[in-house]
Amino acid sequence: MSMKKNYVVETIRKAQMVQLLASGKRVDGRSLDQHRELKIETGVIPKANGSARVFLGNTQVIAGVKIATGTPFPDTPDKGILMVNAEILPLSSPYAEAGPPSEDAIELARVVDRGIRESKMVDLGKLNLVSGKSVIAIFVDCNVMNVDGNLFDATSYAVVAALRTAKMKKYVIKDEKAEATNELIQVPVEKTPVSLTFARIGDKVVVDPGAEEEASMDMRITITTEDGGNVCASQKGEASTITPAQVLQAADTSIRVGKAIRAKIIEATK
């Protein structure tokens, strides 16, 4: 979210925050690598094929999965389709606006999509119906309901939880045509990617920045890891820099903290 800043106030606020961080403290009392309380509710939109509402502190995101059949992309004729979209609703923040997706919303959707896609969370090969003609297409739409920092992680967790609990029709193939049965089966989920976002404020890097911290942050970096402890996606953001050492340390933190969050997501989506 690009907020309209009051430069004088922002400068004072940031100076205070940097001072606080120098003594290892954050505005809300968390430790540097501590994320806010994560709550995950699933099945919140019964009409969707899968859904989840995630609260990360006061940030709230709802993801809904819709599944249909479609035509595969020409270059992947035997793979299903997975699309992640996000809208930062105007009701979510005084700075969000109605209209076509902003640059921020497009980046948000693409970074979340990348984490899901690159982890191979969903086995797209299992979504093939008739090669080159018909595949299963999964759309995950995310509604950001309340903005309080770190949309990347909250949105990612919502998408992962929605996909983990999504059910789709089983299809049978007759004469090169896919026919839907009444049987419902799980979406073929293989992995549980976990996104972790850091903010650099001054020379300190903190996990899961809240809105106040984002208003003062210089740089943002998201690192997504998968079950094997591998890194599968990353995105640096904001118009500033990060040192190589900070990148590597963030990767370590992401692998470590990611494990706990993954367990929590798996628990919430059993």
Partner 1 sequence: MEGQEVGEGKTKLIDESGKRLDGRKWDELRPISIQVGLMKNADGSAYIEWGKNKIMAAVYGPKEVHPKHQVLPDRALLRCRYHMAPFSVDERKNPAPSRREIEISKVIREALVPAVIVEDYPRTAIEVWVEVLQSDGGSRVAGITAASLALADAGINMRDLVVGCSCGIINNQVVADLDDTEDKEGSGDMPVAIMPNLGLVSLLQVDGIYSREQFQKAFELAIAKGKQVNALQRAALNTRFFGGEAKTTQVEEVAE
Of residues 106, 173, 260, 263, which one binds partner 1 by CB under 8 A?
Answer: 106
Segment near partner 1 (CB under 8 A); pick from 16-24, 171-179, 198-206, 234-242: 234-242
Spell out, one character per residue from 84 to 103, where the chain touches partner 1: x when CB under 8 A holds, - when not: -x-x-xxxxxx---x-xx-x
The sign of the torsion formed by the CA atoms of 142, 147, 153, 158 equals negative
189 backbone dihedrals φ, ψ, rounded to 5°: -90, 125
Among 135, 147, 187, 261, binds partner 1 (CB under 8 A): 147
Distance CA 41, CA 60 (A): 11
* Structure token digits, residue 88: 């930062």
Residue from the set 37, 239, 267, 270 that interacts with partner 1 by CB under 8 A? 239
Residue 160 to residue 155: CA distance in whole angstroms: 9
Q: Which long-range contacts (CB under 8 A, 24 or more apart) does 68-73 make?
A: 68/136, 68/137, 68/139, 69/129, 69/134, 69/135, 69/136, 69/137, 69/171, 69/178, 70/134, 70/135, 70/136, 70/137, 71/133, 71/134, 71/135, 72/128, 72/131, 72/132, 72/133, 72/134, 72/135
Q: Give the count of residues interacting with partner 1 (CB under 8 A).
A: 66
For 225, list phi and psi in degrees, rounded to 5. Answer: -125, 160
Number of Cβ within 10 Å of residue 187's Cβ equals: 24
189 binds partner 1 (CB under 8 A): no
**C-beta closer to partner 1: residue 25 or 238:** 238
Structure tokens at 99: 């209209």
**Would you count residue 186 as binding partner 1 (CB under 8 A)?**
no
Q: Are 55 and 39 in contact (CB under 8 A)?
A: yes
The pair of structure tokens assigned to 248 is 């590597």
Q: Which of 251, 253, 264, 266 binds partner 1 (CB under 8 A)?
A: 251
How many CB atoms sit inside 10 A of residue 32's CB?
Answer: 14
Q: Determine if 66 is a binding residue for partner 1 (CB under 8 A).
A: yes
Specify the residue, 23 or 239, whose C-beta has the smaller distance to partner 1.
Answer: 239
Sole window of 33-41, 137-145, 178-186, 194-202 interacting with partner 1 (rule: CB under 8 A): 137-145
Terminal-to-terminal C-alpha distance of the chain: 33
Contact characters 25-64, partner 1, x per CB under 8 A: -------------------xxxxx--x------x-x-x-x
Q: Which stretch binds partner 1 (CB under 8 A): 153-161, 181-189, 201-209, 240-248?
A: 240-248
Nearer to partner 1 (CB atom), residue 21 or residue 166: 166
Closer Cβ to partner 1, 248 or 260, answer by number: 248
- CA-based torsion, 12, 17, 18, 20: positive or negative: positive
Q: Is 153 in the site for partner 1 (CB under 8 A)?
A: no
Contact set with partner 1 (CB under 8 A)? 7, 44-48, 51, 58, 60, 62, 64-66, 68, 85, 87, 89-94, 98, 100-101, 103, 106-107, 109-110, 114, 118-120, 139, 141, 143, 145-148, 221, 223, 226, 228-244, 247-248, 251-252, 255
